[in-house]
Chain A
Amino acid sequence: MLNVYADNAATTAVSQAALAAMLPCFTAGYGNPSSIHTPGQEAAAVLDSARERLGKLLNASPREIYFTGGGTEADNWAVYIAAAIGAKKNKRHFISTRFEHHAMLHTLEKLAKKGDAEVTLLEVHEDGLVRPGELAAAIREDTALVSVMYANNEIGTLQPIPQLGAICRERGVLFHTDAVQAVGHVPIDVKEQNIDLLSLSGHKFHGPKGVGALYCRSAVPVASFIEGGAQERGKRAGTENVPGIAGMVAALEDSCGHMVANSDKVSALRDRLIEALSQIPRGRLNGHREKRLPGIVNFCFEGIEGESLLLRLDMAGISASSGSACTSGSLDPSHVLLALGLPHEIAHGSLRLSLSEYNTPAEMDYVIETLPGIIQLLRDMSPVWERIEKGE
């Protein structure tokens, strides 16, 4: 039995490059970057270098980079920044999308509950894509922020970020993108793509967990998010996670340095899966066929439920995930799949396979060999499948 890790959208293995950058920070270079002594200043130099290199990778200046404890924190902070600016100008309208990550949706809901925000969520249509025209129509005089994810974490669709950013720039509205799934996988240039704020997370591109960053364009005033010391230019207090930051930036340099080769390799694996899984009756690929990340495949299979499928796959050595309700502890199926207009009963039978350059063609063949049998086994005991087969 092969072991196939196909849950890279959840998290990735730490790369050798990242590990090599981190290890010395634990042993020799353990100083606090705020300390005046030599070990402290050495750690500060590691931090400065990381900030500068991350800026370069995004085409931003080091002063526009704020390190955080991950992508979720960066998303929360972006909303907080926009709300603080909006409060001064009496702007409290926020625009996002129906299939945004909960780090964004729940933050907006909380603001709305307090009466500090009015939220418009854009439709993402059957193909999982935001329409620029619909964004343009949704922007109002009092719009404080537009936030659209770069790539969806469940179905992998890539949004038309440069166009959406251009619309916001023209209308004078702040534009944030949750690029957690996209950074390190597709080319990102914050200037060229009209991005004011961007969230990223280290562990989605072979960096460590618990570390991320927020890019905030220099023209945008940054509201402080965590009070305490003067770290992150006084905006985000707390001793910096130097090993995590060093590892994250090394991982991203590695990913960006091999982006074309990785993308070609991973896209080929993805297409092999999509082609084979499309042969399974009553299955459907979720999200636009072309406008998607290299590594994310998401299917719904009628007549079965996602968690059962995941448990059976796990027994066969395949680690995958599902937008299925049962995996999240909630009983509603994925809000992402429902946003595509899928009925509940079909959305329950979803499977996400997310790949990285560490996966191999042989692993894809194993998944392709294994999956149909498991689906059949579950369908054979499913009263829903029985009805589908009878044409009821």
Chain B
Amino acid sequence: MAYSSTVMEHFTHPRNVGKIDGADGVGEVGNAKCGDIMKMYLKIDGDVITDVKFNTFGCGAAIATSSMATELIKGKTVGEALTLTNKAVVEALDGLPAVKLHCSVLAEEAVKAAIADYYIKNGQEPPPETVTAGHDCDECDIHGH
């Protein structure tokens, strides 16, 4: 198993690490039992994601996918961000080892969870695109063995 130079670059110099006080949307996915937790913070102005920050507990791939996902949605509209797929994150990172693909799924889910929270905070029903399969430990086991 080896990481691409892009993954290593994002792991070494992760973009948008941190928190946003008074964020318009916050999403957290994963669990510590599996070894990955991602927390995503969004600042949304009108319909545009003007700022995004993340905190991640996890492996190199978890940190790199979080970093790349924030880059891919920053400055985009909420609607555009909802079209982000884990595949797009993987491609932007020049690939991930097969056993690490679940990290990219988690990154996509973190973005969607933060957007769902934004809708809820505004008293609106989150759009169906924010609903994901969820990341449970059974899924980890399937990916891992």
To the question of whether A and B form a pair in one complex, the answer is yes
With an 8 A cutoff between CB atoms, is B72 at the interface?
A: no
Is the pair B55, A382 in contact by a Cβ cutoff of 8 Å?
Answer: yes
For residue B99, CB closer than 8 A to chain A, the reply is yes
Q: Are B63 and A381 in contact (CB under 8 A)?
A: yes
Within A99-137, the residues touching B (CB, 8 Å) are none
Chain B nearest CB, measured from A308 CB (Å): 6
Interface centre among A306, A315, A383, A384 (most CB of B within 10 A): A383
Chain A residues with CB below 8 A from B33, complex form = 343-345
Q: How many residues of B contact A (CB 8 A)?
A: 34
A248 to B33, CA, bound (A): 41
Q: Report which of B34, B37, B60 forms a contact with A307, defined as CB distance below 8 A.
A: B60
Q: Tell yes or no: B133 within 8 A of A by CB.
A: no
For B63, the chain A residues whose CB sits under 8 A away are 308, 381
B28 x A383 contact (CB < 8 A): yes
Q: In the complex, which of the residues B11, B39, B56, B143 contacts A331, with contact meaning CB atoms closer than 8 Å? A: B143
The answer, yes or no, to whether A195 is at the interface (CB within 8 Å) is no
- Determine whether the beta carbon of B58 is less than 8 Å from that of A305: yes
Q: Mark A305-319, 1 if CB is under 8 A from B, else 0.
A: 111100100010000
B14 close to A307 (CB less than 8 A): no
Assembled-state Cα–Cα distance A216/B54 (Å):
57
Residue of B at shortest CB range from A311?
B60
Smallest Cβ-Cβ distance to B54: which chain A residue: A381
A80 within 8 A of B: no
Tell me, in angstroms, the Cα distance from A382 to B57 when the chains sit together.
5
Q: Are A331 and B141 in contact (CB under 8 A)?
A: yes
| A383 touches which of B14, B55, B60, B144 (Cβ 8 Å) | B55
Binary contact readout A298-337 vs B (1 if CB under 8 angstroms, 0 otherwise): 0000011111100100010000000011100111110000
When A325-B35, A382-B56, A383-B28 are in contact, do A311 and B144 touch as well, CB less than 8 Å?
A: no
- Measured between alpha carbons, how far is A210 from B102 in the docked complex, in Å? 34
A383 and B37 form a contact (CB under 8 A): yes
Nearest chain A residue, comparing its CB with the CB of B140: A331
A2 to B18, CA, bound (A): 31
Q: Kindly list chain B residues whose C-beta atoms are within 8 Å of the C-beta of A380.
A: 17
Query: Is there a chain A Cβ closer than 8 Å to B59's Cβ?
Result: yes
Does B4 lie at the interface of the complex (its beta carbon under 8 Å from any beta carbon of A)?
no
Are A329's CB and B99's CB within 8 A? yes
A348 within 8 Å of B (CB atoms): yes
**Nearest B residue (CB) for A331:** B144
Q: Does B132 contact A (CB under 8 A)?
A: no
Distance in angstroms between the alpha carbons of A348 and B137 in the assembled complex = 14
B62 contacts chain A at the CB level, 8 A cutoff: yes
Nearest CB in chain A: distance from B27 CB, A: 11
B8 contacts across to A, CB distance below 8 A: 311
* Complex Cα spacing A382 to B62, Å: 11
Q: Mark contacts of A377-388 with chain B using CB atoms, 8 A cut-off: 1 yes-contact digit, 0 otherwise.
A: 000111111100
Whether A315 contacts B12 by the Cβ 8 Å rule is yes
The distance in angstroms between the C-alpha atoms of A330 and B60, with both chains bound, is 14
Chain B residues with CB under 8 Å of A330's CB are: 99, 144-145
Q: How far is B145's CA from A307's CA once the two chains are assembled, in angstroms? A: 18
Tell me the smallest distance from the CB of B25 to a CB of chain A, in Å. 16
| CB within 8 Å for A308 and B59 given contacts A331-B35, A331-B99 | yes
**Contact between chains at A305 and B62 (CB < 8 Å):** yes
Q: Which residues of A contact B143 (CB under 8 A)?
A: 331
Cβ distance B57 to chain A, nearest Cβ, rounded Å: 4
Shortest distance from the beta carbon of A84 to any chain B beta carbon, whole Å: 30
Given A305-B62, A381-B14, do A333 and B35 touch, yes or no (CB 8 Å)? yes
Q: How distant is B111 from chain A, measured CB to nearest CB, in Å?
A: 15
Cβ–Cβ contact B32 & A308, under 8 A: no
Contacts A344-B33, A345-B33 known; A385 to B57 CB distance under 8 Å?
Answer: yes
> Which residues of the partner chain B approach A384 to less than 8 Å between Cβ atoms?
32, 37, 57
> Is there contact, CB below 8 Å, between A303 and B57?
yes
Contact with A along B23-41 (1 / 0, CB 8 A): 0000010001111111100
Q: Do B99 and A305 have beta carbons less than 8 Å apart?
A: no
B55 A331 Cβ-Cβ under 8 A: no
Cβ-defined contact, B35 with A383, below 8 A: no
Given contacts A305-B58, A311-B11, A383-B28, 5 further A-B pairs with CB under 8 A are A305-B62, A307-B60, A308-B62, A326-B35, A381-B56
Q: Which 6 A-B pairs have the closest CB atoms?
A: A345-B32, A331-B144, A326-B59, A307-B59, A344-B33, A382-B57
The contact sample of 26 A-B pairs, CB cut-off 8 A, is A304-B57, A305-B35, A305-B36, A305-B57, A305-B62, A307-B59, A308-B58, A308-B59, A308-B62, A324-B35, A325-B35, A325-B144, A326-B35, A326-B60, A329-B1, A332-B141, A345-B32, A345-B35, A348-B35, A381-B17, A382-B56, A383-B28, A384-B32, A384-B37, A385-B57, A386-B55
